[in-house]
Structure 1
Amino acid sequence: MRGLLVNEKEVKELEYVIKRELEELLFDFTDDRIDHVVKRSMEERYDILFKLFSRVASPRECLKYIRSKQKNIKKSIDS
């Protein structure tokens, strides 16, 4: 386990950077041109970023970046 000491301004910057990455990933998940292998690695990245985001953001902010179950169900049906 590692620790990180950041001030409020740095927390806001972390939130901003992670939000942009999550938004880009969520957008790319809808792109049918992306191969399933690539999407699998995108999902791993999404999980890591979302867990990190949930540590610095409010629960209300986290709700905006949760993937819907409907998309996950469609994904498993298509596979």
Structure 2
Amino acid sequence: MLGMLFTDHEYKELDYVLRKELDEMLLDMSDMRLDQDIREAIANRYKTVFRMYARFAPSRELSKYARRVRLPQAKP
């Protein structure tokens, strides 16, 4: 396991970057113009970034980014 020490400013910046990345990935996963395989790859990356964010985010903030549904399936 690796550990890191952040200043308050760095902590806030990391929080901001991770939240914006999660928002962007949620938007991309809901975009039906993207191929299903691409959306699945984004979903896998989302899980990783979400787990990173979950290590220090308050539960109230974390609940905003918890996914409840699977990826929407493209209609043939």
Alignment length (residue pairs): 74
The one-letter code matched in structure 2 to 1:65 is Y
TM-score, length basis structure 2: 0.86
Report the Cα distance in structure 2 between the residues aligned to 1:6 and 1:32, rounded to whole angstroms.
38
How far residue 68 of structure 1 moved from its aligned partner, in angstroms, is 2.1
**3-state SS of 1:26 partner:** helix
| Residue in 2 that maps onto 1:61 | 61
How far residue 3 of structure 1 moved from its aligned partner, in angstroms, is 1.1
| Residue in 1 that maps onto 2:11 | 11
Q: Percent identity?
A: 36
The one-letter code matched in structure 1 to 2:17 is V
Q: Which one is further off, 1-10 or 18-27?
A: 1-10
Asked if the contact 1:11–1:56 (Cα under 8 Å) also holds between the matched residues in 2, the reply is no
Matches within 5 A, 1:12-27: 12-27=12-27
The one-letter code matched in structure 1 to 2:56 is V
Report the Cα distance in structure 2 between the residues aligned to 1:41 and 1:21, rounded to whole angstroms.
14
How far residue 60 of structure 1 moved from its aligned partner, in angstroms, is 0.6
How large is the RMSD of aligned CA atoms in angstroms? Answer: 1.6
Q: Alpha-carbon deviations, 1:15-59, whole Å to 9, x = none?
A: 100000000111111110111111111011100110000112111
Structure that is richer in helix per residue: 1
Q: Tell me, which stretches of 5 or more residues in structure 2 are unaligned?
A: none
Report the Cα distance in structure 2 between the residues aligned to 1:56 and 1:16, rounded to whole angstroms.
12
